[in-house]
C-alpha cells in the first residue's frame, strides 16, 4: 500500500483525516499541518498501523 492521506468531510462539514501506509506514530507529523489549517481537533483515534514499528527512511519501500 502506498502512503496516502484521506480527508473526508461529512454532510455537516466535519472533517476526518486518516493516514494509510505509514506505520508508527510519524503519521501525526504528516497530519499536523492539515489539522492546524482545519482548526481544533475534537477527537484523535489511532489505527493498528500506529502501533507498528516505523521503518527507517533508508530501508523504506515506495509502497510501504
Domain total of the chain: 1
Residue 57 lies in a domain: no
In angstroms, the CA 42 to CA 31 distance is: 14
Residue 50 lies in a domain: no
pLDDT in tens, 4-41: 999 999 999 999 999 888 888 888 888 899 899 988 88
In angstroms, the CA 10 to CA 51 distance is: 27
For residue 26, the enclosing domain spans 1-35
Residue 58 lies in a domain: no
Please provide residue 6's backbone torsions phi and psi, each rounded to the nearest 5 degrees.
Answer: -110, 125
**Per-residue pLDDT band at 1 (split at 50, 70, 90):** low
**Per-residue pLDDT band at 61 (split at 50, 70, 90):** very low
Residue 48 lies in a domain: no
Residue 64 lies in a domain: no
pLDDT in tens, 46-59: 888 888 887 654 34
Residue 8 lies in a domain: yes
Amino acid at each position: 500500500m502506498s502512503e496516502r492521506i484521506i480527508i473526508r468531510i461529512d454532510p455537516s462539514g466535519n472533517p476526518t483525516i486518516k493516514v494509510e501506509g505509514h506505520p508508527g506514530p510519524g503519521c501525526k507529523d504528516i497530519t499536523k499541518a492539515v489539522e492546524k489549517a482545519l482548526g481544533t481537533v475534537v477527537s484523535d483515534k489511532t489505527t493498528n498501523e500506529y502501533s507498528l514499528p516505523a521503518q527507517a527512511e533508508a530501508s523504506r519501500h515506495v509502497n510501504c
